[in-house]
């Protein structure tokens, strides 16, 4: 039995269809499945006792996928979704052509792409230095840390720009591990619940300077022309040296034209990032597109202290960059902008003005880049994507590397790791028919395993 078969057998608790019968009937009992230790494999990082590789990672990462993405233009999901308007979609099986070759656990890992922002927050003066410094310097250190955390929270959703493919739903008990010594972190996630679908993750700095953890329960709803993903679950970042803890939730993501037309997405909603040690707070407003698309991708907000005094204003686009400036400068600029009318008023184009009977909601033309306010400080700028990104599900360079599986990695990965899923692997390799069959088979095995647990009155235990 190969490693891929071991993976989905371990997750579902059943032997594969082409099993040679090496496993006992106990494998068909989910209670016995819990005895499986996903970390029993070799952790030395050695392959055949000779080559040493980085634990759960590769020092040189690939820059492209094995095969280009499959065209979605000839597919429609109306036959599936027309009866689901206003309903929760976690129980609906979608055609694989609307997926991307990553598990949702791997998508969560993309939070770590801009980890340098966490490092920046950690690098501020330590508590002793702050205590010995003036109050103004103490305030500055806290402010800079919160600015960096706010930029990190925004950067975490930036990878979703133009990513209209749906990640694979993780199987119950599925895991993903990644250690990046070059970036200074290790990361592990697990699917801890199937209904409702809950993904938990934990990450820490290799220098023991931060802990990043949380759980995510995306609530999906279909609204006729669009699918809305409402994030549920709290994300926590702890800066250990400063004894500071920050929490927030992600904005809502909406994918338009799921029935007909070109797919496009937007993020909207209010994100509050709270420093529970000082009482300071950052409030970010991810603005909805609006009628003529003027606010598409825009983010505006502010940082306030525990007395609700505004310390700075943050503005930009989650698809581009983030700046900050002092509140007085920002208000003055806005007033002058209204009075002088220096910027031309946007005129609605014929492509944007649509009647209620139109079949597709065209994506508004992307407006000019973020208007720089003199005196502002750059907090974050999005990374450039690979030149062939459009043929790779619009993946970032970081995302391209998440599912790579080189020789020898099976020896150090848990058998429940996403990289070993045959449906995702086949889709990545361009074998859509086999990927679809494997996806359907895995989902059916998971349903059967759930019925078996219910029959034996066994509750799933997280690893």
- The string of pLDDT tens digits covering residues 176-218 is 999 999 999 999 999 999 888 899 999 999 999 999 999 998 8
Q: With a cut of 50, which residues of the chain have pLDDT below it?
A: 1, 3-4, 6-7, 10-53, 128, 131-132, 342-358
pLDDT of residue 106: 97
Closest CA to 109 of 199, 171, 43, 195: 199
Architecture of domain 96-338+363-405: Beta Barrel (2.40)
pLDDT of residue 361: 61
- In whole angstroms, what is the distance from residue 153 CA to residue 419 CA? 26
Q: Which residues contact 132 (CB under 8 A, 6 or more apart)?
A: none
Tokens of 310: 């505004």
Which string of b and e fits 43-75 if b means at least 16 CB within 10 Å? eebebeeeeebebbbeeeeeeebebebbeeeee
pLDDT of residue 274: 95
pTM reported for the whole predicted model: 0.79
Which of the 8 DSSP states describes residue 113? G
pLDDT tens-digit readout, 299-324:
999 999 999 999 999 999 999 999 99
pLDDT of residue 312: 93
pLDDT of residue 143: 86
pLDDT of residue 113: 95
pLDDT of residue 166: 86
pLDDT of residue 35: 37
pLDDT of residue 195: 83
> Going along 330-400, which residue ranges are E strands?
377-381
pLDDT of residue 423: 95
């Amino acid at each position: 039995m190969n490693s891929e078969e071991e993976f989905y057998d371990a997750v579902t608790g059943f032997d594969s269809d082409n099993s040679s019968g090496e496993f006992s009937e106990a494998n068909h009992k989910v209670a016995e499945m819990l005895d499986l230790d996903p970390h029993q494999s070799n952790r030395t990082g050695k392959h055949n006792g000779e080559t040493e590789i980085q634990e759960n990672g590769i020092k040189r990462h690939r820059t492209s996928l094995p095969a280009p993405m499959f065209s979605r233009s000839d597919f429609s999901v109306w036959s599936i979704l027309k009866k689901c308007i206003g309903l929760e979609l976690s129980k609906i099986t979608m055609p694989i052509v609307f997926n991307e070759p990553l598990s949702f656990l791997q998508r969560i890992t993309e939070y770590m792409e801009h980890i340098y922002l966490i490092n920046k927050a950690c690098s501020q003066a330590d508590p002793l230095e702050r205590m010995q410094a003036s109050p103004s310097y103490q305030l500055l250190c806290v402010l800079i840390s919160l600015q960096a955390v706010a930029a990190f929270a925004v950067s975490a959703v930036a990878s979703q720009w133009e990513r209209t493919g749906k990640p694979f739903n993780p199987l119950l008990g599925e895991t993903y591990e990644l250690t990046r010594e070059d970036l200074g972190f290790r990361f592990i996630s697990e699917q801890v619940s199937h209904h409702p679908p809950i993904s938990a993750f934990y990450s820490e700095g290799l220098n023991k300077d931060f802990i990043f953890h949380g759980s995510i329960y995306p609530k999906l709803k279909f609204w006729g022309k669009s699918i809305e993903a409402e994030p549920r679950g709290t994300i926590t970042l702890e800066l250990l040296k400063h004894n500071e803890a920050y929490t927030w939730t992600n904005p809502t993501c909406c994918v338009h034209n799921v029935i007909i037309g070109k797919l496009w997405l937007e993020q909207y909603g209010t994100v509050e990032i709270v420093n529970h040690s000082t009482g300071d707070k950052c409030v970010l407003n991810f603005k909805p597109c609006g009628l003529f698309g003027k606010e598409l991708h825009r983010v505006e907000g502010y940082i306030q202290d525990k007395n609700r005094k505004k310390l700075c204003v943050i503005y930009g686009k989650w698809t581009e960059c983030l700046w900050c400036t002092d509140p007085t400068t920002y208000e003055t600029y806005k007033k002058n902008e209204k009075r002088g009318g220096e910027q031309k008023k946007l005129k609605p184009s014929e492509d944007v003005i649509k009647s209620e009977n139109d079949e597709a909601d065209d994506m508004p033309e992307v407006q000019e880049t973020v208007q720089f306010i003199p005196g502002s400080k750059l907090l974050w700028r999005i990374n450039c994507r690979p030149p062939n990104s459009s043929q790779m599900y619009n993946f970032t360079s970081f995302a391209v590397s998440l599912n790579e599986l080189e020789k020898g990695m099976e020896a150090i990965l848990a058998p429940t790791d996403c990289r070993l899923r045959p449906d995702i692997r086949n889709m990545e390799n361009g074998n859509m028919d086999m990927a679809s069959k494997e996806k359907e088979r895995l989902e059916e095995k998971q349903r059967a395993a759930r019925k078996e647990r219910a029959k034996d009155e066994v509750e799933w235990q997280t690893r």
